[in-house]
Amino acid sequence: MTNVVIGSLGEWVRSNAFKLTLALFMIPALAVLVIFQLVPTVWTIWISFTDMALLGRKFHEYSFVGLKNYEKAFNDFGFWASMRVTIYYCLASLVLRFLLGLAAALYITSRKFKGKRIMAAIFLLPYIIPGAIHPYVWLSMLETDYGTVNRVLRALGLPPQSWMYERLTESIIAINSWAGYALAMLVLTSALTSIPKEYYEVADIYGASRWFKFRKITLPLIKYPLILTLILIFKEDIDDFTYAYMFTGEIPYPDYRTELLALYAYHKAFSDFELGFGCAIGFIIAVIVFVITLVQLKIGGV
């Protein structure tokens, strides 16, 4: 750091050296983001307009085919079957994950009781362990003859189901809810604990019932985290196909019972090598997420 500098550019650089260095700090991160996140996103859209394939001749000699992939999608049995499964899966998961999470959050934040910390830790456990483990964890539950779920059903006099075969869709919904409610629980616990106690005390002074307090104080104050939770849950559900893949493999079931849209896109691209088509589906998924998120924000009044 010299004191006297001659020349205007040199002087500008020198006196703003610190700020320039800071700006430079952002570059590596932004570069990586652009290369590995932004470019693939844009590329997906572009590829969806071609007939590019993952292997073979069409890898290099693909051609631009406009909206053909999208037309194909709308006329494709697999696409709509997959769409149906996905809607079922996402809706059921959203409801279950959210309600269970909300219940857990309300429970955890309601009163001081011994072992609250441990309770919270236990509730959190399924969310913490890596996703690839979950199907393993549920193996013993879902087995047809001696699995825990069917044993309980039989004991209650209800018919046992073939969870690993017939009812795979329901199985992955169950696994997803079991593992995923904790997200809602975390966000909502944070939100609930940030409501000042004084509001409830004032309501108590005026003799409000518990349900009234919940409706008039709790719900409005956690509105934003609530919407955020719904957005995050939906985005995760439509995107993550780990369980579906582990129960399915590289080839979809003939009746597409586990074929989430994301898995379908993967299969089309990596099993059938139809990269263009797969990317079209991927883009459609992105659009769906975008639209649904906007809808959620609108409904929530954000």
Longest dimension (CA), the chain: 92
- Residue 43 binds another protein (CB under 8 A): yes
Q: Which amino acid is at 200?
A: Y
Amino acid identity of residue 283, one-letter, is: F
- Residue 10 CB, shortest distance to another protein, in Å, is 10
Touching another protein, residues 91-120 (CB under 8 A): 102-103, 106-107, 110-111, 113, 117
Instruction: Considering only the stretches 75-83, 86-94, 182-190, 199-207, report the one whose residues sit in contact with another protein under the rule CB under 8 A.
Output: 182-190
Cα–Cα distance for residue pair 172/115, rounded to 1 Å: 31
> Least distance to another protein from the beta carbon of 294, Å?
13
Mention every residue, 6+ apart, whose C-beta is less than 8 A from residue 296: 227, 230, 231, 234
Tell the smallest beta-carbon distance from residue 206 to another protein (Å).
19
Assess 23 for contact with another protein (CB under 8 A). Answer: yes
List all residues 6 or more positions away from 179 whose beta carbon is below 8 Å from its beta carbon: 126, 127, 131, 134
Q: Least Å distance between CB 158 and another protein?
A: 16
Window 127-166: residues binding another protein (CB under 8 A): 128-133, 135-141, 143, 146-148, 164-165
Distance (Å, whole) CA 17 – CA 5 = 13
For the window 60-79, what string marks contact with another protein as x by the rule CB under 8 A?
--------------------
Binding residues with another protein: total (CB under 8 A): 108
The DSSP secondary structure of 124-155, one letter per residue, reads HHHHHS-GGGHHHHHHHHH-TTT-HHHHHHHH
Q: Which is nearer to another protein, 48 or 159 (CB)?
A: 48
Whole-number Å distance between alpha carbons of 23 and 67: 41
By beta-carbon proximity to another protein, the closer residue of 89 and 178 is: 178
Between CA 82 and CA 264 the distance in angstroms is: 7
Residue from the set 65, 195, 217, 297 that interacts with another protein by CB under 8 A: 195
- The residue among 79 and 247 lying less far from another protein, judged by its C-beta, is 247
User: Which residues in the 243-272 window bind another protein by CB under 8 A?
Assistant: 245-249, 253, 261-262, 265-266, 269-270
Burial (CB count within 10 angstroms: exposed 0-12, middle 13-18, buried 19+), residue 118: exposed
Among 65, 203, 217, 289, binds another protein (CB under 8 A): 289
